[in-house]
Chain A
Amino acid sequence: SQTIHQWPATLVQPVGSPLSLECTVEGTSNPNLYWYRQAAGRGLQLLFYSVGIGQISSEVPQNLSASRPQDRQFILSSKKLLLSDSGFYLCARTASGRPGELFFGEGSRLTVL
C-alpha cells in the first residue's frame, strides 16, 4: 500500500495565524515526498519536495516552509498566513518499482479569512 494520510482535511484560519499541515505515508521506505498547492480553478503548483530526512527543496519563494523530521512524515508550515495561501494542498509520494509515478493524498483544504 502506498497510502498517504493528510491532516487536517479542512481548515479555516485567520490572516496572520500559523499553519501546520501534516502528511504521513505508508509503504516503501525513503520515498520522494512532495507538497503541491491547487488554487481555485488552477493547476498544481509544486511547493516543496524532499528526497530524504531533513532534505527539502523549495520551488517557489513564499511564506511557507516544509520539514521532514522522519522518513514517512512531511510537514507544511507557515508562521503567518496570507489570504493568497488559501487553496487545496496535496501531499504526494513516489514508490520504488513504480518509476515516475506519483501517489497523492486526499488533500487539505485551507481557507484563510
Chain B
Amino acid sequence: AQSVTQLDSQVPVFEEAPVELRCNYSSSVSVYLFWYVQYPNQGLQLLLKYLSGSTLVKGIKGFEAEFNKSQTSFHLRKPSVHISDTAEYFCAVSHTSNTGNQFYFGTGTSLTVIP
C-alpha cells in the first residue's frame, strides 16, 4: 500500500524568505513523485515531478524538490517566495499496476506568503 504524509498543514512565511514544504511517503513498489499546486477554486497544476535519474528536480515558478530514497522524502523548496505563491500544495505518488495508474495524494499544505 502507498501513502503520503505532509507534515505541515499550514505554513506562513514572509515574502522573499525561503520555504520548505515537507513530504514523506511509504510504498512497497517503485513510485513516481509529484508536487501539485492549487489556487482557490481551481484544479491542480503540476509543479514538478520525479520519475528517475537526478534526485534534484526543478519545476515551474522557481520551485525545486529533492528525492531522498533512504528517508522516503520529497520535500519542496523555494529560495525566495512571492505573494503569488500563496496556495495549497499537494505531494503525490503514483505507480502503475495492472489496473492502470494509481495516484495517492497527501492532505495538502496551505502556504501563506505574508507581505
Contacts and interface: CB of A to CB of B under 8 A. Distances in A.
Q: Describe A's contact surface by its main secondary structure.
A: strand
B107 A43 contact: yes
Interface in A85-102: 88, 90, 92, 94, 99-102
A56 to B, nearest CB: 11
A94 B4 CA distance: 20
Contacts of A42: 107-108
A46 B43 contact: no
Interface stretch (B11-19, B67-75, B95-103): B95-103
A101 B49 contact: yes
A52 to B, nearest CB: 9
Secondary structure of the B contact surface, majority rule: strand
B33 to A, nearest CB: 9
A49 interface: yes
B94 A100 contact: yes
Interface string B44-72: 11100101000000000000000000000
Nearest to A10: B41
Interface of B: 32, 34, 36, 41-46, 49, 51, 90, 92, 94-96, 99-108
